[in-house]
Chains A and B, each alone.
Chain A
């Protein structure tokens, strides 16, 4: 997800972040609120158009869609069982549209643009004692920390396996969280050294 940003110069790249986020919010809300099997394909067409407009590479569309597909299929199957095919198709298409719409935003907005925008929006928080710069930085760090977190999870699982402990959640989960905390301390110190908390 963090690596999804594609530098470019399309209309969607040039739109202000605020407009894009607002657009995504409205679109997501519309997709969820309009519960109709006939509008679902229309929404999917709109989001596909957006993705094309943003020149999102087919490969990332497929990668994002693959993840959504599995879940959407399972959810769709349950819906089919309970409410019938119409509802199932609608849920399936809606989930796909939501995923594509979000992808068009992440593909055309760099994390720093997002951070700058969030720090602008967070300015009113100053009146309740929250530093907007700090909020923005935390957001950026979270997005940056995602691949690292997944890497730590994989390493700790391999370490547990190497000791023949892969069936024991205790041998895997606790070391994982302990390493996440230790890594956060190191990152915090590194930020401190770069003068970012000052």
Chain B
């Protein structure tokens, strides 16, 4: 094993940053002075540099000739898969909407049986005499449900109903 480094952790950081060309001019000059003055610094720099150069022995991978083609094919397959997925999702959304509409219509139909939600036919036109009569007497609308018959309304319509002697 190697001797322990004579440099503190901070000094070693500075030295390595210097070897990597990462220090500004002033900091680099400070390291250079230490290297010139101190043999321990020089030894450390030399060993760190030699160790770094040993990493040149690391293998560098080379992609096989088919790599690019394989990647592009994979990409196309992936895009086709995504497209299929998007279509499927869209179809599912449409189906869900359709199902929701049908379901709510059916619910409406079943809950409204015997009490049709929609009138079976349009109201007759022109309106009947009774309706016209009712419309003429807006002041009686709040009492509409108390009217037993339209004959009472007709009587109201006769101007002399409340005249004296009638």
The answer on A and B forming one complex is: no
Residues of A within 8 A of B (CB): none
Residues of B within 8 A of A (CB): none
